[in-house]
Chains A and B, each alone.
Chain A
Amino acid sequence: MANTGWDEFEIGAMLRTFDGKIDDIAGTLQEDRAYSPNSSFVASVADWRIEKPIFAKDFCIDCQFCWIYCPDMSIIARDKKMIGIDMDHCKGCGICVEVCPTNPKSLLMFDEHSDEETELAQWPAKEEKK
């Protein structure tokens, strides 16, 4: 929020998600919505990460566990298919990796500076049941 004085903001303990009128919010994708500066959507927490998740699409079964469990709504899904991670709002907690049920996992945590293509190329193999 801008550094305004006590007499400049709207009264009530309230914030607007959008400046002005909006239509068809349900039919508009998040990235296409004109969020106001007061919406947490415009604030990035990318720099909080020490580790980042990488998504290996080939192993994903679209169970949506990661989408449900992500505390920051940073799993991007379209038509109930997992398509990637919102790296502006992911703070690297690793919960998505914990809940991923595939073998091998479709999401794994890596150092923030690691290279996605390199890691995908050496993705772990399926673990045999003992």
Chain B
Amino acid sequence: MAFDKMELKDIEVWDGNFAAAQALRQCQIDVVAAYPITPSTPIVEGYSKFLADGYVEGEFVMVESEHAAMSGCIGASAAGGRVATATSSQGFALMVETLYQASGMRLPIILNVVNRALAAPLNVNGDHSDMYLGRDSGWIQFDAYCPQDAYDLNFIAFKVAEDHDVRLPAMIHQDGFMTSHTAQGVHTLTDDQGYGFIGDFKPMNDMLDFEHPVTHGVQTEEDWHFEHKARQHNDLMTKVFPKIQAAFDDFEKLSGRKYNLVESYDMDDADVCVVCLGTSVETAREVATEMREKGIKAGVVGIRVIRPFPFMEIAEALKGVKAIAALDRSSPNGAPGMLFNELAGALYNTADRAMLSGYVYGLGGRDLTKKHLVDLYTELQANVDAGKVTTQLQQFIGVRGPKLSFL
């Protein structure tokens, strides 16, 4: 490797953004095409600094919009490079058109999405609106709960996405500010360990292979379009999870850190549990432990892989639970909420169909406090005691004014 290596401490105090930037350096990305946006800016800024300082051999392409950023990534990936970028919120929204191109073309691009609210009103803080916007785009979506996850999941994402049986782009989500700008201890890999985990990029149908010319991004109409989409869905449904599991296993061997498709915490004998994403998973774990001291058997289920959705695994994780809360950090705007809907689908055909209620919380970075979660667990326990959902099915947490609930 013709670049300088960096000596890292075993534990560095990094925020989620810098952790992701360091992972991109260690993965030796060939091309980053980016249009920086808060709160993801330091990721691509960090990569470009590492590049300028001689720690990476690659190209940083400055473009005129996020649409162009992902377009540049698609071109570079089709040409045969290891490619990544980062974005948030409005930038992600502008990228959406090209996200479908990237996944349909089966290009293993890695996109770090630092989750942020969508305007209007304009807001730079973290919620999951942009993450939810991308959930039908055909990408693999990993969710980080803290800076450590943001670092580790980049390596795992490259390993899965670039596998020739998978060849799908992947997003790594982290909560804007709550992870991206929160410094915590991050256990590092050495440069050789990190790069060794993902290995050299193995091109597939790359345009720069002049002895095997290919046309990328072809047009199909009703004659072939459906088959292509069916193939992509099939691969997401059948091939991705085994590869992710294998990558999780390999990563555990390398680092000692264990990741799961569904992260269950204190679920063995839980009566009540919350299912959520992002930093809330960790806060809820702390509260669940405290609830157990008060005699409420509380658990937490965090979803590590949002797409493909771990339908069977989540039903298994929720077996035996009596009352479940689905926490959605994005306004469903006229529906129960993504997690509520997915959980309802996963549980509907199970024997012990638990009580399920949905909560909308934390929009635009609104704090989810431990007290909110204590109240939530208490409410779930009341449902268990009453043998039915005692509230309306959809409630808002932490919003001003009269209590807001529906359904």
Contact = CB atoms under 8 A, between A and B. Distances in A.
| Co-complex (A, B) | yes
Interface of A: 1, 5-7, 9-18, 20-23, 25
A63 B269 CA distance: 85
Nearest to A40: B215
Interface residues of B, number: 25
Given A6-B231, A6-B234, A12 B205 contact: yes
B213 A18 contact: yes
B218 A15 contact: yes
B105 A7 contact: no
Given A14-B216, A14-B218, A15-B218, A7 B210 contact: no
24 contacts: A1-B224, A6-B234, A9-B227, A11-B167, A11-B235, A12-B105, A12-B107, A12-B167, A12-B205, A12-B216, A13-B216, A13-B220, A13-B228, A14-B105, A14-B214, A14-B215, A14-B218, A15-B218, A17-B214, A17-B215, A18-B213, A21-B212, A22-B211, A23-B211
Given A10-B205, A11-B167, A11-B235, A16 B230 contact: no
B231 A7 contact: yes
Contacts of B215: 14-17
Nearest to B233: A6
Contacts of B234: 6-7
Contacts of B230: 6
Contacts of A25: 210, 213
Interface string B53-71: 0000000000000000000
B235 A13 contact: no
The 4 closest A-B pairs by CB, nearest first: A12-B106, A6-B227, A6-B230, A17-B213
B211 A11 contact: no
A10 B231 CA distance: 10
A17 B230 CA distance: 24
A64 B2 CA distance: 48
A18 B211 CA distance: 9
A13 B105 CA distance: 5
Nearest to A16: B214
B161 to A, nearest CB: 13
A92 B214 CA distance: 29
Given A6-B227, A13-B228, A21 B211 contact: yes
A30 B228 CA distance: 30
A7 B220 CA distance: 16
A11 B216 contact: no
Nearest to B166: A11
A83 B362 CA distance: 72
Contacts of A6: 226-228, 230-231, 234
B6 to A, nearest CB: 35
A25 B232 CA distance: 32
Contacts of A15: 214-215, 218
Contacts of A5: 227
Interface string B216-246: 1110100010111011101100000000000
Given A6-B234, A21-B212, 18 more contacts: A5-B227, A9-B227, A10-B205, A11-B167, A11-B231, A11-B232, A12-B107, A13-B106, A13-B228, A14-B215, A14-B216, A14-B218, A16-B214, A17-B214, A20-B212, A21-B211, A22-B211, A22-B212
Contacts of A22: 211-213
B231 A14 contact: no
B104 interface: yes
Nearest to B235: A11
Count chain B CB atoms within 10 A of each CB in A1, A11, A23 and give the residue with the most.
Answer: A11
Contacts of A21: 211-212
Interface in B86-141: 104-107
